[in-house]
Amino acid sequence: MKCLIGFTLLMLISISNAGKISREWNEKMDLNDILKNLIEQFKELMPCGFPDLGVPPLVPFELNHTAFDFEQKGLLHLDAEINDLLVDNLNVFDVVNIDLKLLQIQLDFSFYFEAIQTTGTYKAKGSAIGFIPFNRGGKFAFNFNGLTLDGSIKVAIDGEKISVTDFKLNPTVESVNSKFEGVFILPLNTFIFNKIVEAVVPNFLTDNKEQVASFLEDMIKPQVNDLLDDYTLQDLIDFIGNAISPGQARIC
């Protein structure tokens, strides 16, 4: 979540201040290339986070607790919570596409992550294959392989204030590695459970794009706008300008 908020802040500040960025970097450079350079420098700052904006270190990213529901009819239902989550490799990605549309004040983007690794502990209850109940907890490891994030951000500027009006994010993944320990008493049932998860997740993201995109927008956009409400546009521009300068990498 905080990682997505950090990306969103960088993108929308760049959109709103595109003209100034172009003049300060190189008037002959394409704005999309400038944004790509900004993102590359943002990667280097991810281990530092942006504490002034309430964004913690993003590599590795740590989260004490989160809860969620998941259901794929006939295969898997989960009512779960994740604790002591650690996510690594969030700064190892390729910028597949960046397209700044100045008239719409909108940025379309596509990022590709070769592998994102997660570990932590879980508590979960639900059923597998529609009839095998479980109510367990333990350690887990879960990797996303070939994760693509396609999306767009559209902003509105009102005087000295900026807000996100539309935020779309469509994740797809080539495969996942699931290793939840102790889901069932019998190790074979736990093995089957993990194989079901590995089969279900990529297809779920592909088959439920609108549902997933709507869920992410409802979750992320209000938090970003609440954060933006505490700052003027100039505050944000100055902050990013101090953190990321043309041709200069920062070390925290």
Q: What local confidence, expressed as pLDDT, does residue 166 receive?
A: 92
Strands 106-128 and 132-158: antiparallel
Residues 82 and 56: beta-carbon distance below 8 Å = no
Q: Bridge partners of 83?
A: 65, 121
Residue pLDDT, tens place only, 201-215: 999 999 999 999 998
pLDDT in tens, 38-82: 788 888 888 888 777 777 888 998 989 988 888 877 778 889 999
| Euclidean distance between CA atoms 229 and 90, whole angstroms | 27
Is the preceding omega at residue 60 within 30 degrees of 0, hence cis? yes
- All domains of the chain in start order, with CATH: 2-243 (3.15.10.30)
pTM assigned to the model: 0.85
Residues whose CB falls within 8 Å of the CB of residue 37, separated by 6 or more in sequence, listed in order: 25, 246
User: Between these two residues, 55 and 84, which has the higher pLDDT value?
Assistant: 84
| Rounded Cα gap, residues 243 and 147, in angstroms | 27
Mean pLDDT of 181-203: 92
Pairwise CA distance, residues 124 & 130, whole Å: 15
* Residue pLDDT, tens place only, 5-37: 556 666 655 555 555 555 554 554 577 887 888
pLDDT per residue over 129-178, tens digit each?
A: 777 888 999 999 999 999 999 999 888 888 888 888 999 999 999 999 99
Residues in the chain: 252
pLDDT of residue 131: 73
List Cα–Cα distances, 154 to 27, 32, 33, 97, in angstroms. 24, 16, 19, 16
Residues 237 and 157 sit within 8 Å (Cβ to Cβ): no
